[in-house]
């Protein structure tokens, strides 16, 4: 008997809260007038049919974060013959190559400079951010 009453009360509470949620959702829908949907690359809706797929990528890490986590190991001290961060003389001829070449060398490797500079999961944008950060220190 007690179980039955409890069960009934629980069911009543659950259905009441379900109703409350539904009413609240409906109020929001009424207020904004329509519901919006976003089609993300990989969803079935993103295939054909003209709807533009939005690629949601996680934000690239900032240059100083990438630099401190990887590049600093060599570039802060000049280890392994790395041009020291902030040493304008060591960088001037390198900077003359243009930023794109520097990014390419950092991303693909260049002599004793290892590809991606110890940041194995870095994207090219993240390496570019790190190079920009290093150049901002000159």
Of residues 53 and 124, the one with the C-beta less far from ligand HEC: 124
129 binds ligand HEC (CB under 6 A): no
Closest approach, Cβ 103 to ligand HEC, in A, equals 7
Q: How far apart are CA 58 and CA 132, in angstroms?
A: 20
105 binds ligand HEC (CB under 6 A): yes
Closest approach, Cβ 86 to ligand HEC, in A, equals 13
Q: How far apart are CA 115 and CA 131, in angstroms?
A: 13
Question: How remote is the C-alpha of 84 from its chain's centroid?
Answer: 28
Closest approach, Cβ 56 to ligand HEC, in A, equals 25
CA atoms in the 13 A half-sphere facing the CB of 49: 8
Residue numbers at the binding site for ligand HEC (CB under 6 A): 66, 70-71, 73-75, 80-83, 94, 97, 101-102, 105-106, 110-114, 116-119, 127, 130-131
């Amino acid at each position: 008997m007690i179980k039955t009453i409890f069960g009934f009360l629980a069911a009543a509470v659950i259905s009441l809260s379900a109703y409350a949620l539904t009413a609240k959702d409906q109020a929001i829908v009424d207020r904004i007038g329509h519901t919006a949907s976003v089609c993300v690359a990989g969803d079935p809706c993103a295939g054909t049919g003209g709807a533009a797929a939005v690629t949601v990528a996680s934000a690239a890490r900032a240059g100083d974060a990438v630099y401190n986590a990887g590049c600093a190991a060599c570039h802060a001290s000049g280890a392994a013959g790395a041009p020291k961060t902030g040493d304008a003389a060591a960088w001037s001829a390198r900077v003359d190559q243009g930023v794109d070449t520097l990014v390419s060398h950092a991303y693909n490797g260049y002599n004793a400079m290892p590809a991606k500079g110890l940041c194995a999961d870095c994207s090219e944008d993240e390496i570019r951010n790190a190079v920009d950060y290093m150049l901002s220190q000159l």
